[in-house]
A and B are shown apart, each in its own frame.
Chain A
Amino acid sequence: MNTETNSKILQTVPREKAFYFFTSIGNYTGASASSLKEFMERINEVNVKSLEFHLYRGDFEKWLTDVLEDPELVGEIKKVQRFNLTGDALRNQLYVTVSRRYKRLTSQPSSFQFKT
């Protein structure tokens, strides 16, 4: 994977393109993610109902495809969907999946400097 692609996936997007966590139709938790790093952090923090709501609606896949443009992580998320997990088991699996991807992207040698 090239540096440009990594940069795109690790970018911080403007607020109108951020991911907003809801627990059900119209019920926004107040948590949002503007980057893959924030997305990974929010998975550990938000109400688990929000993870269940978005995962099975395909919202994570849509955001990762349309905004961060990371087909590899989309594929991994689809695998998590197939497990039909709920609750903390789902939270753990999602966190492991996203953090593994994040670590892979940030450990690859590139000229991109990720600001923490």
Chain B
Amino acid sequence: MKFKNDTPALDATDYKILELLQEDSRQTYTAIGKRLGIAHSTVYDRIKRMEEHTIIKKYTALVDAEKIGAKGITALMTVYTDPKESEKVAAKLAKARQVLEVYSSLSEELQILAKVFAENQESLHSFIANSVAPLPGVLRIRTAILTKTFKEDQFSIRNSMNEVRFIK
């Protein structure tokens, strides 16, 4: 079975593999196979298939910025835009080195939300004043500098699929 965009439908075993990979993507096919009670070759085949269809987009490392001495501030920027220009504004923001994430949102006014990292408050302001405010279609901007992180997580199978509980 396939979805419209040619992505193969996943079964319960695939979801279990994804959940285990999100827990630790460096564990071996054998270790995953053991936990799920299936052959390592089955795990290998399924992971390869999910990689080929970019269901698994990439494997990466979560780095503790503080421990490596990276200094800077993170801010959430809300950009209110003219609806006709919002896609272009989002695309421009997505290309900026300082911008970590960009989203559009549903609300009364069209908004682009972006997470921005800058060396300090002055460089944050300079980036917004010189590179964001002048973009055609930007109506106004609200920015909140983040002071403390209480939770920061990636999309996970575990959090998103309450009805699917595989790993005991």
Contact = CB atoms under 8 A, between A and B. Distances in A.
Contact of B140 (A15, A25, A29): A29
Given A15-B134, A16-B134, A18-B134, A25 B125 contact: yes
Nearest to B80: A30
Interface in A9-67: 15-16, 18, 20, 22, 25-30, 32
Contacts of B143: 25-27
A28 B121 contact: no
A6 B75 CA distance: 41
A30 B75 contact: no
Interface residues of B, number: 20
B93 interface: no
Query: Which has the most chain A C-beta neighbours within 10 Å: B121, B125, B130, B133?
Result: B133
Interface residues of A, number: 12
B138 A28 contact: yes
B134 A20 contact: yes
Contact of B75 (A15, A18, A26): A26
B134 A22 contact: no
A25 B134 contact: no
A27 to B, nearest CB: 6
B50 interface: no
A61 to B, nearest CB: 15
Contacts of B132: 28
B39 interface: no
Contacts of A16: 130, 134
A25 B129 CA distance: 9
A10 B140 CA distance: 26
Contact of B124 (A15, A26, A30, A32): A26
Given A25-B143, A26-B145, A20 B136 contact: no
The 10 closest A-B pairs by CB, nearest first: A26-B143, A30-B140, A28-B141, A20-B133, A25-B125, A28-B133, A16-B134, A26-B128, A15-B134, A25-B121
Interface of A: 15-16, 18, 20, 22, 25-30, 32
